[in-house]
Amino acid sequence: MQSMNFSKLRRDLDEAITFAQLDVASNLAQQGLRAAQACENLGEIGYFRAQQFIIDENYEAAIEHLHFAIQHNPSDGAAYNDLALCTIELGGSIMDALNYFDKGIAVEPDYASVYHNKGWYLNQLNRSHEAIGYLKKALELEPNRAVTYENLADAYFNLGIIQGAITAYNQALKMIKSSHTDIREQIEAKIKMLIDQTSH
C-alpha cells in the first residue's frame, strides 16, 4: 500500500512540475518526504529531497540526493531520468545525459517519462528521427500523455512532416485540461500557423 502511495505521489508531482504548478509541486514533494521519513524509506527520502531542490532550481544539490536515492533503490528509473534532466540544466555532457536516460530505461523499462524526456532531448539536439521513436514508446506506455503528443508534433515539425505535426498537436489539445489555458493557446497558435503554411 505504501509503495502505491509513493508511485501516485511521484506521478502527481511529475505532472505538477511539467505544467509549472510549482506551489502544488512543492506541497507534494514535502508530503512525499514526510511519508518517506515516517517509514524510513531511504530511497524515497533521497528522491523527494531531490525534487525539492529541482523545484528550487538547485540542480547540484538535487544530483547529490538523486545519487543517494539510486544507492538505496538501484531500480529507480525516475531518479536516473532526473539525473539526466539536472545534467542538461547545468549544461553538462550530452553523453552523460543520454547515458542517464538509458540507465533509467534499463532499470525501469515501463516508465513512460524517461522515454518522453529522452525523446524531447534528442529533438533539442536536432536528432528528430531518433526522438520520434522514444516519444512513440512513451505514448505506448501512457497513451493519454498530452505533453508527449506536443513534443512528437515538435519533432515532426522539425522534420517538415507538417500533417503529422498538426495531427499530434490536435491530439495534445484534446488531452490538456481546460484549466491550462496558456498551454492550450500556444498549441492552438502552432496549429493555426501550420494550417496557414499548408494553405499557401
Write out pLDDT tens, residues 25-78. Answer: 999 999 999 999 999 999 999 999 999 999 999 999 999 999 999 999 999 999
96 located within any domain: no
Whether the predicted pLDDT of 1 surpasses 80 = no
66 located within any domain: yes
Domain, as residue range, for 52: 1-90
Residue 198 confidence class, pLDDT cut points 50, 70, 90: confident
Which amino acid would we find at residue 23?
Answer: D
52 located within any domain: yes
pLDDT average, residue stretch 143-150: 95
Residue 197 confidence class, pLDDT cut points 50, 70, 90: confident
Q: CA 178 to CA 198: how far, in whole Å?
A: 27
- pTM for this structure? 0.92
Q: CA 162 to CA 107: how far, in whole Å?
A: 35
Q: DSSP of 138-166, one letter per residue?
A: HHHH-TT-HHHHHHHHHHHHHTT-HHHHH
CATH number at residue 165: 1.25.40.10
Percentage of the chain with pLDDT > 70?
98
pLDDT average, residue stretch 120-127: 98
Whether the predicted pLDDT of 86 surpasses 80 = yes
pLDDT average, residue stretch 100-112: 97
Total domains in the chain come to 2
Q: Which position has the higher pLDDT, 110 or 177?
A: 110
Both 70 and 130 in one domain: the answer is no
Q: Which CB contacts under 8 angstroms, 24+ apart, belong to 115-122?
A: 115/141, 116/145, 116/147, 116/148, 116/151, 117/81, 117/84, 117/85, 118/84, 119/148, 119/151, 119/152, 119/155, 120/151, 121/84, 121/88, 121/97
pLDDT of amino acid 2: 44
105 located within any domain: no
11 located within any domain: yes
pLDDT of amino acid 3: 47
pLDDT of amino acid 71: 98
Whether the predicted pLDDT of 163 surpasses 80 = yes
pLDDT of amino acid 199: 78
Which amino acid would we find at residue 1?
Answer: M
Least confident of 12-16, 90-94, 117-121: 12-16
